[in-house]
Amino acid sequence: MAKTRIVFALYPGVTHLDFTGPHQVLVRTPESEVVAASLGGIDIEAEGLTFSNLADLAAIDRCDVLCIPGGFGTTAAIHDEAFMAQIRRLGAGATYLTSVCTGSLILGAAGFLRGRRAATHWAWRGELPAFGATVGEERVVRDGNVITGGGVTAGIDFALVLLEELAGRDYAEAIQLGLEYAPAPPFESGRPELARPEVLQVVQSRMAAGGAARAAATAEAAAKLARA
């Protein structure tokens, strides 16, 4: 019996927890092969960490699960036709199409979110409808074979949902317990509706810096999809 192949597609500017959070969970999937890959197998720098010994996306013939993390590099990734070609190729044959944070925008740009509900980081939800997607505000959104997580830390929740699908609830719960995943944050400010207004304003200002470029990339990718 072939192993379940889970491929994480990495790119420059990825947020490392978007990748490492789900990887920590999914690497424990029984009878699985978890592959971290980049275009050309190049090393990927992510906020001071460097991921090396990566597989070449173009050399991977197939996968059962395609997972795309998010990050501030999403905008450039959407513009990278060579990268997007591999996402479309692998995604076309995958059993599950998945993402964390703004990775869902890459799924959308590849044409996989038309008519689907999907999650992304709260600051970028407005970009999803351009790809024909309906915005889901939950931390994890499932629509058929598309399973998407919200911003960054939601990747762990997403991975547990996917693990339940792949290995059953009992197994997923055991992994959660083994990882002692029992969130108890010191502040109630993890979502915009919970944060104090002054905190929300600061974060929104930070996010706005790359907003125009990301919106332009989304519009360009959506126009390409419409012409396809």
Active-site residue list: 101
**What does the alpha-carbon distance between residue 21 and residue 23 come to, in Å, rounded to a whole number?**
5
E strands present in the chain: 4-10, 32-38, 44-46, 49-51, 55-56, 65-68, 96-100, 117-118, 134-135, 140-143, 146-149
E strands present in 71-120: 96-100, 117-118
What is the per-residue burial (b if ≥16 Cβ within 10 Å, else e) of 180-218?
A: eeeeeeeeeeeeeeebeeeeeeeeeeeeeeeeeebeebb
